[in-house]
Amino acid sequence: MLIGLWIRDVVLIEALDLPIGPGLTALTGETGAGKSIILDALGLATGARADAGLVRRGAAQAVVSAIFAPGPDHPVWQILEDKGLTYARDEDLVLRRTLAADGRSRAFVNDQATSIAVLKDLGAALMEVHGQHQTVGLLDAKSHRPLLDAYGALGGLLRGVSETWTGWRAAQASAEALRRIVATAAEEAEDLSLRLAELDRLAPQAGEETELAEERAILGAAEKALADIGAARSAFDGVSGKLAASVRALEHARARAIQAGASEDVPAVMRLAAASAAVDRVFGEVQEAEAAIDSAADVFDFRPDRLEKAEERLFELRAMARKLGVAVEDLPGLRIRFAQRLQAIESSDDALRAAEAEVVLARAAYLAEADELSAARRSAGARLALAVEAELGPLKLEKARFRVAVEALDADRAGSTGQDRVAFEISTNPGAPFGDLGAIASGGELARFALALKAALAGRAEGAQPLMIFDEVDQGVGGAVADAVGLRLRRLAANAQVLVVTHSPQVAARADAHWRISKSGDGERVRTGVEPLNPEDREEEIARMLAGAQITDAARAAARALMNV
């Protein structure tokens, strides 16, 4: 809902702050008073084309701010999200436009600089304009399908179509991925088989490269190492025998001392025992050292074929790794992955057949839902056509005929909203062919037709309703037709916010709020002002509209009667 309009230096308006309420607001005034300036200012704030002529003479720039209070679920918040603008859903939305006298224009949303295109997108979501010089909304065929779906309360069917469409698309994507696999499967399978055979023959093991490198290093040094080990071993030649003889000699000496009558605890005997034990320990360690040297010699067992085999194996592993573009340590894992991939390819034909069967089922499910939605749209379109035509007669459009064209599209042009192109079409005279709404030549007739359509749709639309502006929708009509226009505007305003620029007292009398637009000043300086009217002033203004310059008591009585209908 539009809750305020702040205007500075636009044409004849020097400064104007307008609070705007819900329901139907009428703008009246003498011809040339500047009623259209209010709409021009609002259009400026919502992205309309700017003309430097809108800047008041003598002013540096014109500034307009339109303050809206959208609901928390209004689509404008998603537009702001998509454009990267900050916002708070529980706060007002302020659209501001500046227009310099040289024609340069700037746009702001909640004081954030943005583009004119963003203002236009936001304006399209927040309001519709139907008037003498423009009709924004209904002429865009893209709006017709959502309006028809809202009228027919087809939200449930739409959700079903959207869900089955998503399922169909997912099934198609899965099948297409498998087709790509199958298309290259033969060549890839042959290559994988060759590589897997090479890896199977090589049979690389985890950690094998490190072990082979270490073995090659050891074997490369084996010949010289064995010579050194031999020297170390020869140094022990005869040592063991001499140590054994020393132990025996010491034991014989101790035995003779005891036989001569010495006891075990005699110092000489004790020292012989200690010496024998010490030599025996050395004997044992010498034997252990000899065994260790022999063991080391076994490790360095030099056989030329053993070194050659280790080097050949290491070369094969590294050559294979280079060929496959991986590290040697990755070869065992790559062998497993090749086997898995080959198995997947071999089973891809079966998977593709299953996926294609799923596509057929998903498509059938979508088309069934879409056919049901199409039938519901045709039914809703027929009802809407009857409802609109019932509104046309009272609005002096009795010769016009209206229909909703629901055209089936090819399945490949279908989408998440179904398989239909929906268009509102009109025939302006009996026997004339149906065409798009632009076939209505008169701006006033187009505005009245928009009113007829909106009246037929009233109360059926889902979600947030835009501000609707009707500019001189009563142009060229009066009496009962003007009264019919006012009645429909009042009915439409029961569930939406409506602004109407009118010369008709029957329309103004139906309003919830009434503004009088007037000019004041002298030849040097003329200003346009807007005055909200209280009930007494409204009666006087409607009487003026009925009687002209000379307001009579009869005109005032007629005005009261209109206001009390």
Over the stretch 284-299, which tens digit does the pLDDT of each residue have? 888 888 888 878 777 6
- DSSP letters spanning 456-483: HHTTT--SPPPEEEEESTTTT--HHHHH
The confidence score (pLDDT) of residue 478 equals 75
Q: What angle do CA 113, 117, 119 make, to 5 degrees?
A: 60
Contacts of 344 (CB under 8 A, 6+ apart): 181
Order of strands, sheet of 435-436, starting from the edge strand that comes earlier in the sequence: 401-408, 420-427, 435-436
The confidence score (pLDDT) of residue 395 equals 86
CA distance 412 to 363: 11
Count of Cβ atoms closer than 10 Å to residue 517 Cβ: 21
**Residues shown for the chain:** 565
- The β-bridge relationship of strands 435-436 and 420-427 is antiparallel
Strongest mean pLDDT among 249-258, 344-353, 371-380: 371-380
Q: Which amino acid is at 415?
A: G
Q: Residue 161: is its pLDDT beyond 70?
A: yes
CA distance 96 to 107: 6
CA distance 28 to 516: 5
For the chain, what is the radius of gyration of the CA atoms? 49
SS3 content of the chain, % helix, strand, coil (to 5): 55, 20, 25
Contacts of 530 (CB under 8 A, 6+ apart): 16, 18, 27, 38, 515, 516, 517
Q: Kindly state the average pLDDT of the residues 144-167.
A: 92
Counting beta carbons within 10 angstroms of the beta carbon of residue 564, is it exposed (0 to 12), middle (13 to 18) or buried (19 or more)? exposed
Counting beta carbons within 10 angstroms of the beta carbon of residue 431, is it exposed (0 to 12), middle (13 to 18) or buried (19 or more)? exposed
All structural domains of the chain:
185-346 (1.10.287)
226-255 residue pLDDT tens: 667 777 777 777 777 888 888 888 888 888
CA distance 152 to 374: 11
408-443 residue pLDDT tens: 888 778 899 999 999 999 888 888 888 887 666 566
Task: Give one word for 223, left, alpha or beta, with left for phi > 0 and alpha for psi -120 to 50.
Answer: alpha
CA distance 424 to 438: 10
Q: Residue 89: is its pLDDT beyond 90?
A: no
Identify whether the C-beta of residue 463 lies closer than 8 Å to the C-beta of residue 73. yes
The answer to pTM > 0.75 is: no
DSSP structure class, residue 47:
T
Q: Kindly state the average pLDDT of the residues 4-24.
A: 91
CB-hemisphere CA count at 13 Å for 38? 31
Q: Which residue has the tokens 């226009």?
A: 485
The confidence score (pLDDT) of residue 246 equals 84
Identify whether the C-beta of residue 71 lies closer than 8 Å to the C-beta of residue 464. yes
Q: Kindly state the average pLDDT of the residues 132-152.
A: 77
CA distance 380 to 18: 40
In this structure, what is the dihedral angle of CA atoms 365, 366, 370, 372, given to the nearest 10 degrees?
A: 10
Token representation of residue 467:
């501000």
Token representation of residue 98:
């500046």
DSSP structure class, residue 437:
G
Identify whether the C-beta of residue 257 lies closer than 8 Å to the C-beta of residue 266. yes
Q: What angle do CA 491, 497, 503 make, to 5 degrees?
A: 70
DSSP structure class, residue 418:
B
Q: Which residue has the tokens 């009217």?
A: 533
The confidence score (pLDDT) of residue 359 equals 94
Q: Residue 32: is its pLDDT beyond 80?
A: no
Higher per-residue pLDDT: 459 or 26: 26
91-141 residue pLDDT tens: 899 999 999 999 999 999 999 999 999 999 999 889 888 865 555 567 778
The confidence score (pLDDT) of residue 137 equals 62
